[in-house]
Amino acid sequence: MPDLLSEKTATELAALLAAKKVSAREIAADCLAAVKTRDAQIAAFLGYDAADLLAQADASDARRAANASLGPLDGIPVAIKDNIAVAGQPLTCASKILANYVSPYDATVVTKLRQAGALVWGRLNMDEFAMGSSTENSAFQKTRNPRDLSRVPGGSSGGSAAAVAAGMTPLALGSDTGGSIRQPAAFCGVVGLKPTYGRVSRYGLAAFASSLDQIGPLARTAADAALLLAAIAGGDAHDSTALANPVPDYAAQTRQSSGPWRIAVPEEFFANGFDAGVRAAVERAAAFYREAGHTLVPVSLPRTTAAVAAYYIIATAEASSNLSRYDGIRYGHRSAAATDALDIYSLSRAEGFGDEVKRRIILGTYVLSSGYYDAYYVRAQKVRTLIRDDYMRVFEDADFVLSPVSPTPPPKLGAASTPLETYLADICTIPVNLAGLPAVSVPCGEADGLPAAFQLTGKPLAEGALLAAAHLFETAPQNRPAA
C-alpha cells in the first residue's frame, strides 16, 4: 500500500473521497509532504503555493460536507506545467525572459478543472518554451528521472511526468507538440495522452507551434487519464481551433470498451537503430493483444520517414512567429544594458532566451525567409498532408497503430552530443502531431532495468477507445508491476 495518499491513483482517491474515508485536505497535505521530502533530488517543481492548495482543499471538503460535490475530480490535486496559465501564479515557460511574469488569467483547461472541483497547484519544470526532449533545457533547473536519478525524465513535460511518477501529485497537465507528453510518460513509467488536435482548448497555453501544440493528461493509469481528459476537453469560444463535439464519458468507455480491435504494426517503427530492449518490450505488448484475441495487421507508413525533417521546419517556423512577442518592450525581460530600441530587442532576447530556443528561432526565420519559403516551409506542409494520408489509409482497415514511444530507454543526463541526435529521438512521436491524431503512451515493463512503453495511435476523436485498449493492457494480471 502507498505510504502517502499522493501515491494513490486519482480513481482510488475519488472513491475514498466519495465514501468520506479521507478528506481533500489530507490528500493535499500528503502532496505537500511528498514534495518536501522527494523534490530536492528530482526537481520537478519550479514552485507551488501551499496555502492556496490547502484553501482549495478546504473548499472542496466544505462542498462534500454540504452534499454538493462537483464530481469525481472534486478534491483531487492536478499539478500544472509551467507553460499553462493560472491566474496569480508565475508563468515562466522555464525561461529567463519570463522569469518575473505572473499570469493575469486562467487557461481554459484551468477554468474547467476549477469547475470540476480539482485542486489546481504547482508550476512544473519543462524544457524552455517546450523546446526539448529531456527537461535539461530549462533555464532554472534540471529535472531527474524518479526511476533513476542519473537519467533524464524526458521532455518537454519532464516535470509533469516526474511529479506523477514520484508520487508527488496524482495527476498533472502537460503539453505535446512533438511528443512532449508521451515521451516523458514513457521514460518515467506513467500514462501520457496526447488528444486529437482541437479536442482540448489551447487558450492560455504559451504557444510554441500553434498547429501542433495540444494540452493533455499525465497520470498513473488510463482510467485516471480518462477522468482528467473528460474535465478539460470540449469547445471554447476563446480558441477557434477547439472542437465543439460533445465530450463523451471517457471513464465509462475506458472500463467498458473491449474490442475486438484490429491493431496495425508499422514496419518503419521497428527498424534497425532501435534499442533491443525497448523493441522486445513493445513486441511483448503487441503479443499480449494478439493473445487476447485482437488482430495484428502488418502495415507500412512510408512517409513517416520524412516526419522529423518536416516537423523541424513547420515547428520552428511557427516558433519564430510566436516568440516574436517576447521583445523586452511589452512584457518579460528587458536588458539593463539597452540604450536604444534596437538594443532593447536584440539584447533582451539574447539574454532571455536559451541556446535551444535561439537555435529554433533562427532556423524558423530562415525557412520562412524570402527565397526559402517555398523550398522548405511549403514542401514540409505538403509532406505533412501525405503523412496524415498514410495514417488515414491504415485506419480504413485498423482501429489503432501500435509502435514504440522512443527508440531508446531514458538517456543519462548530459548524454546527448548534438541537437540532431536529440531531434531524431522523437521519430516515433512526431508523425502523430503532424497528423493531428490522438495517441497514448502506455508503460510495458522495462528495458535494461529502465521504463519502457508502447504507443497506441487512434483515429480522430478516438481517445475513449485508446484509453480502453491501454486499460485492458495495464489491468491484465501479467502486465501489472510487481508489488
Tens of each residue's pLDDT in the chain, 483 residues: 467 999 999 999 999 999 999 999 999 999 999 999 999 999 999 999 999 999 999 999 999 999 999 999 999 999 999 999 999 999 999 999 999 999 999 999 999 999 999 999 999 999 999 999 999 999 999 999 999 999 999 999 999 999 999 999 999 999 999 999 999 999 999 999 999 999 999 999 999 999 999 999 999 999 999 999 999 999 999 999 999 999 999 999 999 988 899 999 999 998 777 899 999 999 999 999 999 999 999 999 999 999 999 999 999 999 999 999 999 998 899 999 999 999 999 999 999 999 999 999 999 999 999 889 999 999 999 999 999 999 999 999 999 999 999 999 999 999 977 888 888 889 999 999 999 999 999 999 999 899 999 999 999 999 999 999 999 999 998 887 654
Q: Please report where in the chains the cell 552530443 appears, as a residue.
A: 417
Q: What is the pLDDT of residue 298?
A: 97
Tell me, yes or no, whether 155 lies in a domain: yes
Closest by CA to 228, choosing from 211, 215, 241, is 215
CATH of the domain at 247: 3.90.1300.10
Q: What is the pLDDT of residue 1?
A: 45
Does the reported pTM lie above 0.75?
yes
Q: What is the pLDDT of residue 229?
A: 98
Tell me, yes or no, whether 196 lies in a domain: yes
Tell me, yes or no, whether 295 lies in a domain: no
**Annotated active-site residue in 6, 8, 60, 81:** 81
Annotate the chain with three-state secondary structure: CCCCHHHCCHHHHHHHHHCCCCCHHHHHHHHHHHHHHHHHHHCCEEECCHHHHHHHHHHHHHHHHCCCCCCCCCCCEEEEECCECCCCCECCCCCHHHCCCECCCCCHHHHHHHHCCCEEEEEECCCHHHCCCCCCCCCCCCCCECCECCECCCCCCHHHHHHHHCCCCCEEEEECCCCCCHHHHHHHCCEEEECCCCCECCCCECCCCCCCCCEEEEECCHHHHHHHHHHHECCCCCCCCCCCCCCCCHHHHHHHCCCCCEEEEEHHHHCCCCCHHHHHHHHHHHHHHHHCCCEEEEECCHHHHHHHHHHHHHHHHHHHHHHHHCCCCCCCCCCCCCCCHHHHHHHHHHHHCCHHHHHHHHHHHHHCCCCCHHHHHHHHHHHHHHHHHHHHHHCCCCCEEEEECCCCCCCECCCCCCHHHHHHCCCCCHHHHHHCCCEEEEEEEEECCEEEEEEEEECCCCHHHHHHHHHHHHHCHHHCCCC
> What sign for the dihedral angle of Cα 388, 394, 395, 401?
negative
In terms of residue numbers, what domain contains 57?
Answer: 6-264+402-479
**Annotated active-site residue in 180, 320, 403, 441:** 180
| Number of domains the chain is built from | 1
Q: What is the pLDDT of residue 258?
A: 85
Which residues are bridge partners to 21 per DSSP? none
Q: What is the pLDDT of residue 2?
A: 65
Tell me, yes or no, whether 25 lies in a domain: yes
Tell me, yes or no, whether 333 lies in a domain: no
**Annotated active-site residue in 103, 156, 348, 406:** 156
Tell me, yes or no, whether 356 lies in a domain: no
Clarify whether 156 is annotated catalytic.
Answer: yes
Tell me, yes or no, whether 61 lies in a domain: yes
Q: What is the pLDDT of residue 480?
A: 73
Tell me, yes or no, whether 72 lies in a domain: yes
